[in-house]
Structure 1
Amino acid sequence: MTDSPVSEMSFEDAMKELEQVVSTLERGDVALEESIKLYERGAALKTRCEAKLKEAEEKVAAITLDADGTATGTTPAEGL
């Protein structure tokens, strides 16, 4: 696990760390205080992943096709 700010993580990095948090919590061999910290970190990571997915969905939804199949109304896919 890292101490990287969740708000700066890519979707992939956040998902990878979230998987590690879940795995650690599922093992059940962590002290209560550490479990609470892991749960809080996991909740923040989950929120980050959801936000990045929503952002991606909005970018995909912004792409429309005209009559001849050409993409129109596209916006740059920054940060993905």
Structure 2
Amino acid sequence: MTDTPISEMSFEDAMKALEELVSRLERGDVPLEQSISLYERGAALKKRCEDKLKEAEEKVAAITLDADGNPKGTTPVEGL
């Protein structure tokens, strides 16, 4: 685990930490109290990933729309 606060993690770092955490929980060899702590951290990591994705969506929208909110002739990214 990294010492970087979740609020300062990049999307990639938060996703990697979340994947590692899920892997630990799936193994099932973590005591209940630690599982609860890990689950809480996982929820925070998931939220960080969602927030970073939303930021990216907003940046893409700002780049691809003109001042009137009309497309600038670019194709929107599928799934965003």
Q: Could you tell me the TM-score, scaled by structure 2's length?
A: 0.78
What amino acid is aligned across from residue 6 of structure 1 in structure 2?
I
Residue 62 of structure 1 corresponds to 62
CA RMSD between the two structures? 1.3
Residue 4 of structure 1 corresponds to 4
Single out whichever of 57-66 and 46-55 deviates more from structure 2.
Answer: 57-66
- The size of the alignment, in residue pairs, is 67
Long gaps (5+) in structure 1: 70-80
Residue 47 of structure 2 corresponds to 47
Higher strand share: 1
Long gaps (5+) in structure 2: 65-71, 75-80
Q: How far apart, in 2, do the equivalents of 1:3 and 1:38 lie?
A: 15
Q: Deviation per CA, 1:33-61: give whole Å up to 9, x if none.
A: 11011101100000000000000000001
Runs of 4+ in 1 over 4 A off after TM superposition: none
Q: How far apart, in 2, do the equivalents of 1:4 and 1:35 lie?
A: 20
What amino acid is aligned across from residue 4 of structure 1 in structure 2?
T
Name the SS of the counterpart of 1:63 in structure 2. helix
